[in-house]
């Protein structure tokens, strides 16, 4: 049976950087309501809203202190209800972020948990006996430092794979799980259309919480290899599905840090009743720093053959069994055009369209991260003072200040390539001061290139990146070939062009793209009377692929 989300395109709204309506410099829900006509014009079906719950905001809302209330700077529940209503009137669904691998340390569950070892909420979190000078194991936090914080009063440590203000919830506790399911039902009963589940691959921590091997002698080791895809995870997801998701028509999207294709086949396999689709991380983590002590920080550009191999592995791996989420970037990744394309004045526009075409014609559900549809670029920051992200600032302190592993200049170069803040600069609506994002002082600098890259210039320009995304979205809506066609990679060893086919019944779609600034010749028989469906150049030169050219042909058998 076909599912509504299979031919849908999802638009990600990062509320604090989308549209401010009250001049405090931070985007809000009223701002999202005001921009619904824009989102509708783009043609997407769903908005995924990053967390808007009440939060001390240590990690931009991924530290929830009240799961059933709205962060005051974003508005209130009445505004949220109006957003839901207004979006639904325009046939746009709303998917909420669900952050239940961890909570805020200010959530009443955690506050009670800390009261005493026999408090019923104590076991809602992961506590271990210990002494101030001996950590329970060698796990590090994703945001630097150890994954454990000591509580003097209890004489115990609690686990946090992210910031110390984000304690891990204990999924082995049944009452905790039931409370989470109750909260999920509360939102779904309100009428939301599903959840994007944050860090959901990390729910099941290994029994005994053992050390992880640490051959590189990092100060704290990366626990992901033994935490992701724990043996009980499938059971938790099945239970969540049974108790909550199966009773609604909403979509469930798992953010699966560290998951492998085989696990994803299980999570998204229709007969398994776990999740509808997942975000995997492989294609955005292909260039780890060879020096493990530096974690993700590097300025390497990915090799096209590696990127193709990874995307193809997931296309083949989930074909007919599960379902992929397709994305180049989000609020945790640098901007697509800067990372995989070319954000110079000469090639930004064409390479942004090339990336769009390549991604949107794959099998899966495509995601557009706000501003991607305009070809927005990395921030190109040059000073530390421009950064706001906790992960970035903590990494600087640990790697540059405390351990002196790289120079400040080098670290700033790494940040300019991959800091999460590259994606978090405000939406560029027009060329007025502050890019039309706010009348106040934006919480994070507007990218100075807003004068030439902005929505106002693009929306009505038939040749803009925005218009190109519109075309791709409407193509998907009309074509079972694009939604359901089987994927076939062409020439995996080609390090300059990414070409593939999609097959459905008697139809084949041939997709060709040039990832370089050189002209290439590639012949897959496309010149012989086949119909050009879409291209990012205004004319077609057959076997020639000009710099960053991308095109697709319909081949009738
Ligand atoms: C996810 C979110 C990220 C957040 C982290 C901790 O990876 O996407 O923004 O920092 O989880 O919640």
Ligand 1 mutation pick, 143, 164, 332, 418, max ligand atoms within 8 A of CB: 332
At residue 529, the pLDDT reads 77
C-alpha 9 to ligand 1 mean position (Å)? 22
> Which tokens belong to 329?
């970037």
Ligand 1: which residue has its CA nearest to atom 4? 62
Ligand 1: which residue has its CA nearest to atom 9? 332
Residue 146 has a CB neighbour count (10 Å cut-off) of: 19
Locate the ligand 1 atom nearest the alpha carbon of residue 143 and give its number. 10
CA–CA separation, 307 and 488 (whole Å): 15
Residue by residue, DSSP assigns 162-175 as: S-TTSPBB-TT-HH
Locate the ligand 1 atom nearest the alpha carbon of residue 101 and give its number. 12
Ligand 1 pocket, residue 63 CB under 6 Å: no
List the domain boundaries for the chain.
Answer: 4-100+175-381+420-471, 108-159, 382-418, 486-555
Considering the segment(s) 486-555 as one domain, its CATH architecture is Sandwich (2.60)
Query: In this structure, which topology does domain 108-159 adopt according to CATH?
Result: Oligo-1,6-glucosidase; domain 2 (3.90.400)
At residue 215, the pLDDT reads 86
C-alpha 96 to ligand 1 mean position (Å)? 14
At residue 369, the pLDDT reads 99
* Cβ-based burial of 10 (10 A; exposed 0-12, middle 13-18, buried ≥19): buried
pLDDT tens by residue, the chain, 557 residues:
899 999 999 999 999 999 999 999 999 999 999 999 999 999 999 999 999 999 999 999 999 999 999 999 999 999 999 999 999 999 999 999 999 999 999 999 999 999 999 999 999 999 999 899 999 999 999 999 999 999 999 999 999 999 999 999 999 999 999 999 999 999 999 999 999 999 999 999 999 999 999 988 888 999 999 999 999 999 999 999 999 999 999 999 999 999 999 999 999 998 999 999 999 999 999 998 888 889 899 999 999 999 999 999 999 999 999 999 999 999 999 999 999 999 999 999 999 999 999 999 999 999 999 999 999 999 999 999 999 999 999 999 999 999 999 999 999 999 999 999 999 999 999 999 999 999 999 999 999 999 999 999 999 999 999 999 999 999 999 999 999 999 999 999 999 999 999 999 999 999 999 999 999 999 998 767 789 999 999 999 999 999 999 999 999 76
Respond yes or no: is residue 123 known to be catalytic: no
Ligand 1 pocket, residue 62 CB under 6 Å: yes
> Which tokens belong to 314?
């997931």
> Which residues are CB-neighbours of 138 under 8 A, at least 6 positions away?
211, 212, 214, 220, 221
> Which residues are CB-neighbours of 216 under 8 A, at least 6 positions away?
291, 292, 293
At residue 259, the pLDDT reads 94
What's the DSSP call for residue 555? Answer: E
**How many Å from the N-terminal Cα to the C-terminal Cα in the chain?**
27
Ligand 1 pocket, residue 279 CB under 6 Å: no
At residue 525, the pLDDT reads 87
Ligand 1 pocket, residue 48 CB under 6 Å: no
Residue 545 contacts residue 511 (beta carbons within 8 Å): no
Ligand 1 mutation pick, 17, 59, 101, max ligand atoms within 8 A of CB: 59
C-alpha 365 to ligand 1 mean position (Å)? 21
4-100+175-381+420-471 CATH choice from 1.10.3260.10, 3.20.20.80, 1.10.357.10, 3.30.540.10: 3.20.20.80
Pick the catalytic residue: 28, 59, 168, 198?
A: 198
C-alpha 345 to ligand 1 mean position (Å)? 32
> Which tokens belong to 301?
């550009």
Pick the catalytic residue: 255, 276, 389, 417?
A: 255
Ligand 1 pocket, residue 199 CB under 6 Å: yes
C-alpha 257 to ligand 1 mean position (Å)? 10
Locate the ligand 1 atom nearest the alpha carbon of residue 59 and give its number. 10
At residue 528, the pLDDT reads 76
Residue 13 contacts residue 431 (beta carbons within 8 Å): no
Respond yes or no: is residue 276 known to be catalytic: no
Ligand 1 pocket, residue 332 CB under 6 Å: yes
CA–CA separation, 440 and 458 (whole Å): 24
């Amino acid at each position: 049976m076909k599912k509504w989300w299979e031919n849908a395109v999802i638009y990600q709204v990062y509320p604090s950087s989308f549209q401010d309506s009250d001049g405090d410099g931070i985007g809000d829900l009223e701002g999202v309501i005001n921009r619904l006509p824009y989102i509708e014009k783009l043609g997407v079906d769903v908005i995924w809203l990053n967390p808007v719950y009440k939060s001390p905001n240590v990690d931009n809302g991924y530290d929830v202190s009240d799961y059933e209330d709205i962060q005051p700077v974003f508005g209130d529940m009445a505004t949220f209800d109006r957003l839901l209503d207004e979006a639904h009137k325009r046939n746009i669904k709303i998917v909420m972020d669900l952050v239940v691998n961890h909570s805020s340390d200010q959530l009443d569950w955690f506050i009670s948990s800390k009261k005493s070892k026999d408090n019923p909420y104590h076991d809602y979190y992961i506590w271990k006996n210990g002494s101030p000078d001996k950590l329970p194991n060698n796990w590090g936090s994703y945001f630097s430092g150890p994954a454990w914080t000591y509580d003097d009063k209890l004489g115990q440590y609690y686990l946090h794979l992210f910031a110390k203000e984000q304690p891990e919830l204990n999924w082995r506790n049944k009452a905790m799980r039931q409370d989470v399911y109750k909260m999920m039902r509360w939102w779904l009963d309100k009428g939301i259309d599903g959840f994007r589940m944050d860090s959901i691959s990390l729910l099941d921590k290994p029994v005994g919480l053992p050390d992880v091997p640490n051959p590189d002698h990092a100060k704290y080791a990366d626990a992901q290899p033994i935490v992701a895809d724990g043996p009980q995870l499938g059971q938790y997801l099945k239970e969540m599905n049974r108790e909550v998701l199966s009773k609604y028509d909403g979509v469930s999207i798992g953010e699966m840090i560290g998951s492998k294709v085989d696990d994803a086949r299980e999570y998204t396999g229709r007969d398994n009743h776990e999740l509808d689709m997942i975000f995997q991380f492989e294609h955005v983590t292909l260039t780890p720093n060879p020096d493990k002590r530096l974690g993700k920080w590097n300025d390497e550009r990915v090799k096209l053959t590696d990127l193709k191999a990874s995307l193809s592995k997931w296309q083949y791996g989930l074909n007919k069994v599960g379902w992929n989420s397709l994305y180049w970037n989000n609020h945790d990744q640098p901007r697509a055009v800067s990372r995989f394309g070319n954000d110079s004045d000469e090639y930004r526009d064409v390479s942004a369209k090339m990336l769009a075409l390549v991604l949107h014609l794959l099998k899966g559900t495509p995601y557009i991260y706000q501003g991607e549809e305009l070809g927005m670029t990395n921030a190109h920051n040059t000073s530390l003072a421009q950064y706001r992200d906790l992960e970035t600032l903590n990494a600087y302190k640990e790697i540059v200040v405390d351990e002196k592993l790289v120079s400040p200049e080098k670290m700033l170069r790494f940040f300019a390539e991959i800091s999460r803040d590259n994606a978090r600069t405000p939406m560029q609506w027009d060329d007025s001061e502050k890019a039309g994002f706010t009348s106040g002082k934006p919480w994070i600098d507007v990218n100075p290139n807003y004068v030439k890259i902005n929505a106002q210039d693009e929306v009505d320009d038939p040749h803009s990146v925005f218009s190109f995304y519109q075309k791709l979205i409407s193509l998907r809506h009309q074509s079972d070939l694009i939604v359901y066609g089987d994927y076939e990679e062409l020439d995996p060893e080609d390090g300059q062009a990414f070409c593939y086919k999609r097959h459905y019944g008697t139809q084949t779609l041939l997709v060709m793209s040039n990832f370089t600034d050189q002209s290439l010749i590639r012949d897959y028989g496309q010149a012989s009377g086949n119909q050009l469906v879409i291209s990012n150049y205004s004319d077609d030169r057959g076997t020639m692929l000009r710099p960053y050219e991308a095109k697709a042909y319909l081949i009738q058998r």
